[in-house]
Amino acid sequence: MSYAAQGGTFGGGPVCTGAPAGIISWWPGEGNAQDLVGHYDGAQQNGATFGVGRVGQAFSLDGIDDAIVVNNNAALNPASITIEAWVKPGGVPAGNIADVVTKWGFDATVDSYFLGLLNSGGVVRVLGGIGDGATGDSGFSGGAVALNTWSHIAATYDGATLKVFVNGAQVGSKALSGSLVTTNDPLKFGGNAVWSEWFKGRIDEVRVYKAARTQSQIASDMNAAI
């Protein structure tokens, strides 16, 4: 799947005419970490590679130290957000978190947004989170994500409610307030060296939007090329 193959133009680059409103970035993981929408290309870190994906190829991460790192850009610090990805986790240790997409500052005052998995009592759940601009963060987990199987996960935040989704269904929400915090730290897939929340398995078709998509939009995004 490629933009060039789908025709049309968007922002001066080759893109399908059906590009959804508000999309910032799309990293399809086709043997590289290019962003086909915003061109905020990532870099492989510590041996991150590629394997068979949900669509074409996917990011393949070892759960030890592999990550994809995207340098900060102001466009990656929206006020509202949708984060979507396909994941095929190889396992999440009991009680642990596995990072899928983070724009997290690691000075807790500049944490911005988070999508990952949490092993809660033996059930792997989707976990969404946002920073509060102070020393705390707020998150909500829900649903169930099977191991060694592809699942579509998403989190949205619109300034009032954080919602999490699995396979196009909303599985939880939490009332919060305020715009997302701006952080100058990079956006990462797969983990970080600060919290050791490494993701083991495959991550595919990562998309970020500057708006909270609805449940029906997320459900249709699951199987849609842009």
Query: Would you say 34 or 170 has its CB closer to Ca ion?
Result: 34
Query: Would you say 66 or 185 has its CB closer to Ca ion?
Result: 66
Minimum CB separation of residue 50 from Ca ion in Å reads 9
Q: Which of residues 44-63 bind Ca ion (CB under 5 A)?
A: 46-47, 53, 55-56, 62
Query: Mapping DSSP to helix (H, G, I), strand (E, B) and coil, where does residue 159 land?
Result: coil
Q: Which of residues 177-206 bind Ca ion (CB under 5 A)?
A: 204
> Could you say whether residue 34 binds Ca ion (CB under 5 A)?
no
Q: Which stretch binds Ca ion (CB under 5 A): 28-36, 89-97, 108-116, 163-171?
A: 28-36
**154: closest CA among 87, 93, 109?**
87
Minimum CB separation of residue 150 from Ca ion in Å reads 11
| For the chain, the helix, strand and coil percentages under 3-state DSSP, each to the nearest 5 | 10, 45, 50
Q: Which of residues 118-177 bind Ca ion (CB under 5 A)?
A: none
Residues 6+ apart with CB under 8 A from 114: 99, 101, 102, 103, 104, 127, 128, 129, 130, 137, 139, 155
User: What are the residues facing 117 on neighbouring strands?
Assistant: 98, 126
8 A C-beta contact, residue 83 and residue 103: no
Query: Would you say 34 or 72 has its CB closer to Ca ion?
Result: 34
Q: Which of residues 54-113 bind Ca ion (CB under 5 A)?
A: 55-56, 62, 64-66
> Could you say whether residue 28 binds Ca ion (CB under 5 A)?
yes
Rounded-to-integer distance, Cα 169 and Cα 20, Å: 19
Binding site for Ca ion (CB under 5 A): 28-29, 46-47, 53, 55-56, 62, 64-66, 204
